[in-house]
Amino acid sequence: MKKNILNIAVAATLGFVAFSASSEDMYRGAWYAVPGASYTNPDSDLESRNDGAGIFLRMGKELSESWDIQFGISQARTGNDLNGVGGRYRQSMLGADALYFFSRDKFRPFVLAGLGVARNRVNYDGIDLDDKSKTSPYANVGLGAQYLITDNFGLQADVRHVWSKSGTQSINADAGRLNADETVGNTYVNLGAIFRFGAPAPVAMAEPTPEPLAPVAVAVAPEPEPVQAALPVVPACNEKFQTVEVSAEKLFGFDKSKLADDGKAELDAAIQKIKAHPALVLVLVTGHTDRIGSEAYNQKLSERRANQVKEYMVANGVDASRLQAAGKGESEPVVGCEGLRGKAVVECLAPNRRVVISAEEKIEAGCK
């Protein structure tokens, strides 16, 4: 009977984890809380029924592309299975689990293993026990999955088997069936909600307003001297604005949208080229990301980065009316990097993480 219940529990959990999503969401180094409830299938030696329930609270931390750690407390209770006898069995646990993730998509299957301290208490009415409670180390293994509904909220389900020492044995001749003084193994089916509070939240970027420093000096040209006024202005027909492409890591750092000092030198060079080309009627600042991360998150990240570059250019004397910022997210990759995982794919996809500055020029009279 208990084997059938365990099979049903495993099937239910695998059914949940099969509900997958196509987009990826790489780890963000986030902290998260997982409160939830559990179904308990106790060891048969405890003579306890199979309808136990419990609650738990875990705190998790994303350590790398593949590993999380979760610390938690839990408690579960069941009634006993001895005819005519009341009372309950209770197990309380405090411990830590290491989780290995096979994917960082929204759907994230994992296996787990952990250690901790368990307190088993058997309190059955009318049965004289040599030791009603015992505290001992425990070990557990399991499998499960997370599913992220948003960047900050999701679900976690798992099935785990827990081994600990009960130390409980009946000393009554008429209740000799209760003999749980050795290792007992309980199976738990857990379902909880994930609240991520360490992940960067995608925020829409407000349109920048030009700061009142230097725009007057850039926008207003000095009155020409009378002698120079008679000289014709010859357009530089052969000079073309070359598209500037800058690595996003150099400008911002990996998965960041705040402009870094080290990347400003290349932007300064682009700004000087724009100022030297008055015929430029529109300068496009386009942000691109790789495919690591959800499509929605990457779109917002590319927009934030493009707007940061635009703000910097305006603050350094480029007329805001000549600039347009846009994000393309992961939609225009230059490399694919299929078949790679972990750090190898992060490094391979670097060319996709970029900011491109391009321009449209007004054709002057007499130029072709």
Q: What pLDDT is attached to residue 21?
A: 36
What's the rounded Cα separation, in Å, for the pair 202 and 151? 9
Please give the structure tokens belonging to residue 67.
Answer: 């590993």
- CB-based contact 127:82 (threshold 8 Å): yes
CA quadruple 147, 151, 152, 154: dihedral, nearest 10 = -10
Q: Looking at the chain, how many residues does it have?
A: 368
Q: What pLDDT is attached to residue 359?
A: 79
Q: What pLDDT is attached to residue 80?
A: 73
Sequence-distant (6+) residues with CB within 8 A of 197 are 30, 31, 32, 33, 152
CA quadruple 71, 114, 163, 6: dihedral, nearest 10 = 90
The single-letter code of the amino acid at 38 is S
Q: What pLDDT is attached to residue 159?
A: 97
Separation of CA 285 from chain center: 27
pLDDT per residue, tens digit, the chain (368 aa), is 444 545 544 454 444 444 433 333 456 788 999 999 999 988 887 777 667 899 999 999 999 888 999 999 999 998 776 665 677 889 999 999 999 999 888 899 999 999 999 998 887 776 666 667 888 999 999 999 999 998 889 999 999 999 998 867 665 545 456 666 678 899 999 999 999 986 554 444 444 444 554 444 444 445 555 544 433 444 445 455 667 777 777 787 676 767 777 778 878 888 888 888 877 778 889 989 888 878 888 898 889 888 988 898 899 888 888 889 999 989 999 888 888 877 788 888 888 888 888 876 655 544 54
